[in-house]
Amino acid sequence: MNKAELIEAVAKVVCSKKEAAAAVDTVIDSIKASLKKGKPVTLVGFGTFKVVKRKARTGRNPRTGATIKIPAKNIPVFRPGSELKAAVK
């Protein structure tokens, strides 16, 4: 399912397609804003979005074989909740 299909699914149940698009965009923007501040987003029964710091490490350029330094960075991660895990079993 992509974003357009999600908007259509929400529109069928709740409201018009325009309102559903605004609602989906608001949810996504809110999650992004919270993660940008370093705060996790927990949706009970669905899962948790959070930011983790990935350590700096060395890697290898596959073309030349030379070693390179990969800098540390923050990455978003999602951990599914128990209800979501049970739903996809």
- pLDDT tens for residues 27-85? 999 999 999 999 999 999 899 999 999 999 999 999 999 999 999 999 999 999 999 99
Task: Please tell me the pTM assigned to this model.
Answer: 0.77
Cα distance between residue 40 and residue 78, in whole Å: 10
Residue 50 has a pLDDT of 96
Query: Domain locations in the chain?
Result: 1-39, 40-89
Say yes or no to pLDDT of 15 above 90: no
Question: 40-89 has which fold?
Answer: HU Protein; Chain A (4.10.520)
Q: Kind and range of the H or E element at 33?
A: helix 17-36
